[in-house]
Amino acid sequence: MKIDTREKDRTREILKKVRQIEIRTNRLVNDALAGEYHSVFKGRGMDFDEVREYTPGDEVRMIDWNVTARHGTPFVKKFTEERELTIMLMVDLSASGNFGSNVQSKRELAAEVASVLAFSAIRNRDKVGAVLFTDQIEAYIPPQKGRAHVLRVVREILFFEPRNNGTNIPLALDFINQVQKRRAVVFLLSDFIAPTESLQTALRLTNKRHDLIALHISDRYEHELPDLGLLTVEDAETGEQYEINTADRSVRGAFSAMNNDHLEQLRHLMRSSGVESLELATGQPYVPALLNFFSSRGKRRR
């Protein structure tokens, strides 16, 4: 039987890339994020674990009076956090995510951030699932526990080849509401280069059913054009081509103004929908931003 060496090389490259991300993100999780994640995303409550003898300093209200009466010495109830949560990673795989002016594309940044969140989740014994979407649902990975499952999620986010190029975020949010019956923490990772019509309704509905957090992935050249003269650019999602004279300062200014307006609209949309959001950019360290976000969120919810 003839072995396709190109397929073999691709498989090896995929495994190497996933392993690199696991090593890098595991270090970040161990060093910084796991504790913040645990403190911010609480379990559903407290479960009774056992009783033990009272020691000075224990809460008097925790005394189990029935056991105390039977033994003649005070015993207190011990509880453990009902920790298990479900983390759903919703990742936009539309063609615009393949852009990146640095060594990393927006899709690669989304995959790495999703990996950090996924490894933080399994470190805290939570389940992780994923929805990969364009303008249709490309793949659904039901939530499970364990390292092997998370590695599969990371591999799919990085290397899944979507059938379509466009973006339909309301469709994806409607899908998660249908398949995920129990309340989950939902991370929506997207560059949000898409029409905002009907998005507010979808955001509000999903945030009511789940704990929705939007991670806006962008690139600096989406906010400011470099001065590179006459360029032919192509919309990755529609295939339309345009000629832009980037040497013209007024053109660069209009481009920046248009994209800044879009960014402000998104920010307003998130606030009015009650959805917490975080902005991340390729070429910029994301761990400090995540730590600050988790810390601020924890303080707001105390």
Q: Could you tell me if 69 and 169 lie in one domain? A: no
Q: Could you tell me if 251 and 187 lie in one domain? A: yes
Q: Could you tell me if 181 and 244 lie in one domain? A: yes
Residue 245: pLDDT band by 50, 70, 90 thresholds? confident
- Tokens for 186? 């939902």
Residue 1: pLDDT band by 50, 70, 90 thresholds? very low
Reduced to 3 states (helix: H, G, I; strand: E, B; else coil), residue 21 is helix
Looking at residue 280, its amino acid is: L
Distance CA 202, CA 183 (A): 16
Residue 48: pLDDT band by 50, 70, 90 thresholds? low
**pLDDT number for residue 171:** 96
Residues 6+ apart with CB under 8 A from 148: none
Domain extent at residue 168: 7-40+84-300
Distance CA 20, CA 16 (A): 6
Provide the domain count of the chain: 2
Residue 214: pLDDT band by 50, 70, 90 thresholds? very high
The predicted model gives 130-144 an average pLDDT of 96
Looking at residue 95, its amino acid is: A
* 40 or 161, greater pLDDT: 161
* 297 or 90, greater pLDDT: 90
Residue 1 lies in a domain: no
Going edge to edge, which strands form the sheet with 137-144?
Answer: 137-144, 127-133, 86-92, 185-190, 211-218, 276-281
CATH number for the domain spanning 185: value is 3.40.50.410
User: Taking 70 as the threshold, does the pLDDT of residue 95 lie above it?
Assistant: yes
Residue 2 lies in a domain: no
* 277 or 28, greater pLDDT: 277
Q: Could you tell me if 30 and 151 lie in one domain? A: yes
* 235 or 191, greater pLDDT: 191
Torsion from C-alpha of 261, 266, 267, 271, nearest 10 degrees:
140
